DNA sequence: GCGAAATGCGTGAGCGCTAACATCGCTCGG
DNA sequence: CCGAGCGATGTTAGCGCTCACGCATTTCGC
């Protein structure tokens, strides 16, 4: 039984059930035009042989597409990881399969290189376009197969509405909210430890975290300090933020994500600055660990999993327009105040 | 240009190059028996049409398999996530595609349900068998297609050598080392906050973390306290560990992973116990954040990414025995002493 | 009660590719 | 100078499936 016995095909089932292969196909695909008695016979044969349709053959033959490829640059980041989970869940429930291909942030991928990652031309694809490699992949697919791609990234409601292949949340708005909160607490200004941007420059998109932060400061007539750029890793963040935390004039830092915030917390501790007494820290994403640091991180909750699901549904609609066009339906980002934020010392 | 134009097939290339489709196939697959001039003509035609072979058709036609499916129950756990990254990297370098299917720990999957996740019979599969759903999936595939599967999990060197489809590290040995370290520090005994086991019972495998811990305590003639079972999430860990940290008799806790350790750290803080003064805490996995908690976590480093790569290579060997059988070649787990461990107060 | 539509099923072609064999022309030993 | 031998190519037959038909039977409107 454990030997590599060849799997049953549609023909085997047809023979056993005494019908044509096409009838088996009809039963498998739930066509209504099959007599109940025939259907039962076929079903029985299927069960007996343990027949399972071969997905590859199915899509080769021009049947419905049943796979998505996810392009992302970093699976260890909480956002993409959670979005991937959302995509996988949604896909699973429809029996689609999910492939994943990781873009290396170190190489500059050529267009051909990106296209070569897709198992075939026209493969439905979701791109995590929150960073440079992602943005590049987005552009390539937009040029080659715009009808079979969806990109996830930080965009304003207007941008989202304008581009039917875009899914995401308005990080800028959320960052603005967080910044406003810190200002209301009485901080003179708020500094920013920034994640790498997708465009390579700050303020590249209105929905970027750094942009929302800067906007609020400007509107409030405050000084807008130079944002401190950090890489994605905690180690990079730690190095980048050290000068900032040791400056006593800095009383509040908005961090691009919770990992950066953790590094900031650590750096503040080592610099002998108490949090939130001397320094308020606000993170981003509400990563699971953020509630359990000491002190617990004030952060911005983001429902990436729902965004991932939304991306999948949108993609499905784009690939097969007979499915409903989903409306964005995830919660807005929301500030969660915990222990790392408070009023500045007078 | 942006319209859904059909992609070029092998026939289109053949026509343009003035050869048969088989010759194109030979060129694409690097067969040596093609005249240089012909090869160049074909290559030129390929470039002109932007032809890319269709993976689906290729494997349908019985060509080499070029895809792996990874079955895992939790992509947010550091171990599986890192192993997946290793698999993806190794696969990418050979142009294999990687699919992922997440097992829901909540349902009991039927055998058929697990098999239905594979895109076709005989699909090469890697299973993350560190928990109950993973173990079950492992068993199902072992029964149905043992030649095209590899499982990753905690196993001793002997177990690994005995099962040619197994890859992993000896967590028990690493846990033993960590426990010994705590004992040498002078702790009377060491408590254990345990991750869920793959078998549902403690001590189910010699290479389990809880097993290594218990073994050392027994060997040292110490009392072996009842291990405290926790779920995988930080929140569950926090609830589970509270009674433990508030017991002043407890001076050292070995945690099943760094997330549990973080929860323990938090619980200790809230219970007013200083770390490592009143309580030593040791984690597991050397999750990136672990160096940046305050105090920084003492933990056990594990190179999951290498294990993932090893799993992929082993799978490739099993599917196609003409490829070399890889030898396990990853670093042993290693204790990293940071700030959460120290001698007990006298 | 007769034509038209609906139903139930089968046939043939083809998706893009590879494996296996067939064919052609050339070189080379004797 | 002829056939064995080989290298370079073409031909054929699928892989497992779906589409687009085709052809009987039934069902139904009026």
- Antiparallel, parallel or unpaired: β A97-102 and B97-102: antiparallel
Q: What is the pLDDT of residue B2?
A: 39
Neighboring chain A residues of B259 at a CB cutoff of 8 Å: 288-289
Burial class (CB in 10 A: 0-12, 13-18, 19+), A311: buried
Asked if B16 and B27 count as a contact pair (C-beta separation under 8 A), the reply is no
Gap between the Cα atoms of A328 and A309, Å rounded = 10
**Number of CB atoms found within 10 A of residue B310's CB:** 25
B201 pLDDT tier (thresholds 50, 70, 90): low
CA-CA distance, B244 to B267, in Å (whole number)?
Answer: 9
Domain A171-302 has CATH 3.40.50.2300: yes
Dihedrals phi, psi of A8, to nearest 5 degrees = -70, 140
Q: What is the pLDDT of residue A317?
A: 94
Chain A residue closest in CA terms to B238: A292
Measure B39 CA to D3 C1' (Å): 31
Find, among B289, B322, B316, B286, the residue nearest to B304 by Cα: B286
The span from the CA of A281 to the CA of A283, in Å, is 7
pLDDT, average across residues A281-294: 97
Q: Which of A145, A289, A293 sits opposite B259 (nearest CB)?
A: A289
A32: which residues sit within 8 A by CB, 6+ positions away?
A: none
pLDDT recorded at residue A62: 84
Instruction: Judge whether residue A323 has pLDDT over 50.
Output: yes
Strand C lies under 7 A from the Cβ of residue A35: yes
Query: What's the CATH class of domain A10-53?
Result: mainly alpha
Token output for B229: 């079972």
Q: CA-nearest residue of chain B to A65?
A: B56
Number of residues assigned to chain B: 346
Q: Do A119 and B55 touch (CB under 8 A)?
A: yes
pLDDT given for residue B5 in this prediction: 66
Instruction: Say if strands B67-72 and B125-128 run parallel, antiparallel, or are unpaired.
Output: parallel
3-state secondary structure of B250: coil
The proportion of chain B whose per-residue pLDDT surpasses 90, expressed as a percent, equals: 82
Q: Do domains B67-168+303-319 and B171-302 have the same CATH topology?
A: yes
CATH architecture classification, A67-169+303-319? 3-Layer(aba) Sandwich (3.40)
Average pLDDT value over all residues in chain B: 92
Query: Could you read off the pLDDT of A228-244 as tens digits, one per residue?
Result: 999 999 999 999 999 99
Task: Provide the 8-state DSSP code for B285.
Answer: B
- Spell out the domain ranges in chain A: 10-53, 67-169+303-319, 171-302
Residue A274 has pLDDT above 60, yes or no: yes
Angle at B84 between CA B78 and CA B86, to 5 degrees: 105
Element (H, E) at B240: helix B234-245
Q: Which residue, counting CA atoms, is nearest to the C1' of nucleotide D15?
A: B61
Sequential DSSP letters for B124-193? -EEEE-SSHHHHHHHHHHHHH-GGGEEEE----HHHHHH-TTEE---HHHHHHHHHHHHHHTT-S--EEE
| Architecture of the structural domain at B67-168+303-319 | 3-Layer(aba) Sandwich (3.40)
How far is the C-alpha of A40 from the C-alpha of B119, rounded, in Å?
25
Tens of pLDDT, residues B247-294: 999 999 999 999 999 999 999 999 999 999 999 999 999 999 999 999
Alpha carbon distance B265, B275 (integer Å) = 8
Mean pLDDT across A211-222: 96
Q: What is the pLDDT of residue A200?
A: 57
Q: Torsions phi, psi of B194, nearest 5?
A: -100, 140
Q: Cα A111–A114–A117 angle (5° rounding)?
A: 150
As a whole number of angstroms, the distance between CA B210 and CA B172 comes to 7
Q: A23: Cβ under 7 Å from strand C?
A: yes
């Amino acid at each position: 039984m454990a030997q590599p016995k060849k799997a049953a095909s549609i023909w085997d089932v047809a023979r056993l059930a005494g019908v044509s292969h096409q009838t088996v196909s009809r039963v498998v695909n739930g066509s209504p035009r099959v007599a109940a008695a025939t259907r039962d016979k076929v079903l029985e044969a299927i069960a007996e042989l343990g027949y399972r349709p071969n997905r590859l053959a199915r899509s080769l033959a021009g049947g419905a597409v049943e796979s998505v490829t996810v392009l992302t640059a970093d699976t260890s980041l909480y956002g993409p990881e959670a979005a991937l989970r959302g995509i996988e869940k949604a896909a699973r429930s429809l029996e689609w399969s999910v492939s994943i291909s990781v873009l290396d942030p170190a190489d500059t991928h050529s267009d051909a290189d990106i296209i070569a990652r897709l198992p075939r031309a026209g493969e439905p694809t979701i791109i995590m376009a929150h960073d440079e490699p992602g943005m590049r992949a987005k552009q390539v697919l937009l040029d080659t197969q715009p009808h079979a791609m969806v990109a996830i990234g930080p965009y304003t409601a207007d941008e989202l509405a304008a581009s039917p292949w875009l899914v995401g949340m308005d990080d800028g708005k959320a960052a603005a909210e967080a910044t406003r909160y810190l200002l209301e607490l009485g901080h003179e200004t708020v500094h920013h430890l920034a994640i790498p941007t997708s465009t390579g420059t700050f303020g590249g998109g209105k929905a970027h975290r750094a942009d929302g932060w800067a906007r609020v400061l400007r509107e409030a007539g405050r000084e807008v300090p130079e944002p401190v750029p950090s890489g994605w890793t905690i180690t990079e963040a730690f190095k980048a933020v050290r000068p900032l935390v040791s400056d006593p004039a800095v009383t509040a830092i908005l961090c691009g994500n919770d990992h950066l915030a953790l590094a900031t917390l650590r750096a503040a501790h080592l610099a002998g600055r108490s949090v939130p007494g001397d320094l308020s820290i606000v993170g981003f994403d509400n990563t699971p660990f953020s509630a359990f640091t000491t002190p617990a991180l004030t952060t911005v909750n983001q429902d990436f999993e729902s965004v991932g699901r939304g991306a999948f549904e949108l993609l499905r609609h784009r690939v097969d327009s007979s499915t409903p066009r989903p409306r964005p339906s995830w919660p807005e980002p929301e500030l969660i105040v915990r222990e790392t934020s408070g009023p500045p010392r007078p």
